[in-house]
Amino acid sequence: MKAFGYVRPRTVEEAAEAYAAHPGARYLAGGTNLVDLMKLGVESPAVLVDIGRLPLDTVEERPDGSLRVGATVRNSDLAAHPLVRDRYPVLSQALLAGASGQLRNAATTGGNLLQRTRCPYFQDLDKPCNKRVPGSGCAALAGVHRDHAVFGHSDRCIATHPSDMAVALAALDARVELYGTEGTRSIPVADFHRLPGEHPERDTEIRPGELITGVLLPAARAGVPSAYRKARDRASYAFALASVAVVLRVADGVVDQVGLAFGGLAHRPWRAHHAETALLGAAATPPAFEGAIDLELERAEPLRDNAFKVPLAHNLALDTLTRLAPAPSPV
Amino acid sequence: MTSDNRLGPHSEITLRVNGKPHTLLVDHRRVLLDLLREDLGLTGSKKGCDHGQCGACTVLADGRRVNSCLLLAVTLDGSEVTTIEGLSGDGEEPHPLQRAFLERDAFQCGYCTPGQICSAVGMLAEAAAGHPSHVTDPAEPSGRPVPLDRTEIRERLSGNLCRCGAYPRIVDAVEDVIR
């Protein structure tokens, strides 16, 4: 690891100033991904701006019923928060499906969104990787890519985003709140992560120096039945091969609100817009669910070794939608 | 501009480790695990993978279990750290989990054991504080202690690998302490 300076600002404003003042600075919160990448040599910041103690560690209900989650709320605290468990169970379940107890105690909300892909070639300095060194090539294209993308990949990069939390947030229509020298803005989580295209080195739409200050959960989705399902190579403590976040409200046997997003399939949480459009207003029955899921998944472009992800995602989504839908009333 | 501006390669920090205060000049690259082992001679915490994947380095920082291999020491200025050496307090009597591991023979080589025990201590506190896990029924009410069966214990300790495969007896030992 290369030597670096260390700054611990007291406020968000000081943090942004410190970042701007020091070329090669990186923000540090829980460090569960960044410190690991520094050990691997993937990251070598000149200065760490420690935002871990900023006053952004609370979950607050707003007058309109929405929830604001501070950027440094730990993953374990967010998953256990009564309002999150009661109103947004998909978010609590997604957080608890990720990492380990130790890591969730350190990892933060903002850091979870900004974590990097676990593509083994990204983490290996001896291999070409367009995300790590733009223009160097992609070793995963012809290499080991069973865990990689089936949607939205490019010939530059086929990596997936590893977060479970972000998949739930996408299905919930959550927004990311950002602070930068030009002020504060917020963008939907579903649009926060990018597809790789020509520039896989850019994971997200965040601008240089911008700081995630929080995540906003809309009141509109509070209390709507929701769930997260994840398939992985072992029963716990592994990244998703495929996962699904579902928010589903049914009235009189008809879907009147739906959020559906897949994890483990793309460079970002894959919001299933085609399936959602088909589901809205449709009968809440397994055949209708299946038709809608297929409408989304027929657009998948699996790689040589990961075609299994498509039926896996299909089955996860069908099962989760079916479980969330109220049982049909007896005739 | 900022409260703490340490642009050199090292900083002075104060830590309480197992109740004892230490003031140390640390290289910013120093992770807590290396500080414990190499600067303080507390070699109970083990280096397994050094990447947060095996749990052998698990300690309690401000009462919460964490992977000490991924925590930069400089970020912990002012924190209270408890390692396997400090679990028994005055050292007269082993911690109930340490005793249970001995009685159940919950290890073979023992390398992962300090991390397993520190993780179990943190995990029991989390469950008592009402923290759910991946296998907790979502219908369980918030805020109440979560009852721990073997499935819960296994899930909650999944961040601690044991290459000898002593898992069944580790779960036995944790169950003994819960009862």
Question: Å from A164 to nearest chain B CA?
Answer: 12
When CB atoms are compared, the residue of B52, B131, B159 closest to A80 is: B131
- Tell me the count of A-B CB pairs closer than 8 A: 140
Single out the residue of B99, B107, B119 nearest to residue B176, CA to CA.
B99
Contact B2 A93 (CB under 8 A): no
Question: Å from A82 to nearest chain B CA?
Answer: 5
pLDDT in tens, B102-141: 999 999 999 999 999 999 999 999 999 999 999 999 988 8
High-pLDDT (> 70) share of chain A, %: 99
Q: Which fold has domain B96-178?
A: DNA polymerase; domain 1 (1.10.150)
Report the b/e string of A307-327 with b at 16+ CB within 10 A.
eebbebbbebbbbbbeebbee
Summarize the confidence of residues A227-247 as an average pLDDT. Answer: 98
pLDDT in tens, A245-292: 999 999 999 999 999 999 999 999 999 999 999 999 999 999 999 999
Taking the C-alpha atoms of residue A105 and residue B61, their distance in angstroms, rounded to an integer, is 10
Longest dimension (CA), chain A: 72
Q: How far out from the chain centre does Cα A193 lie?
A: 8
- List residues bridging with A7 in a β-sheet: A49, B5
CATH for B10-86, among 3.30.70.260, 3.30.830.10, 3.10.20.30, 3.40.50.2000? 3.10.20.30
Taking the C-alpha atoms of residue A107 and residue A116, their distance in angstroms, rounded to an integer, is 13
Angle between helix B96-104 and helix B113-128 axes, rounded to 10 deg: 130
Single out the residue of A107, A112, A117 nearest to residue A157, CA to CA.
A117
* ipTM metric: 0.96
Could you tell me the domains of chain A?
Answer: 5-50 (3.30.43.10), 225-324 (3.30.390.50)
Taking the C-alpha atoms of residue A60 and residue A77, their distance in angstroms, rounded to an integer, is 13
Contact A76 B130 (CB under 8 A): no
Domain ranges of chain B: 10-86, 96-178
For residues B90 and B108, is the Cβ–Cβ distance under 8 A?
no
Q: What is the pTM of this model?
A: 0.97
Question: Å from B117 to nearest chain A CA?
Answer: 13
pLDDT in the model for residue B133: 98
Taking the C-alpha atoms of residue B178 and residue B175, their distance in angstroms, rounded to an integer, is 5
From chain B, the residues in CB contact with A103 under 8 A are 52, 67, 70, 159
Contact A80 B8 (CB under 8 A): no
When CB atoms are compared, the residue of B67, B132, B134 closest to A85 is: B132
- Strand B58-61 relative to strand B20-27, pairing: unpaired
Contact B65 A31 (CB under 8 A): no
From chain B, the residues in CB contact with A89 under 8 A are 138
Single out the residue of B157, B32, B49, B19 nearest to residue B101, CA to CA.
B157
Which residues, other chains included, contact B141 with Cβ-Cβ below 8 Å and sequence gap of 6+? none
Chain B residue with CA closest to A40: the answer is: B51
Angle at A266 between CA A117 and CA A221, to 5 degrees: 105
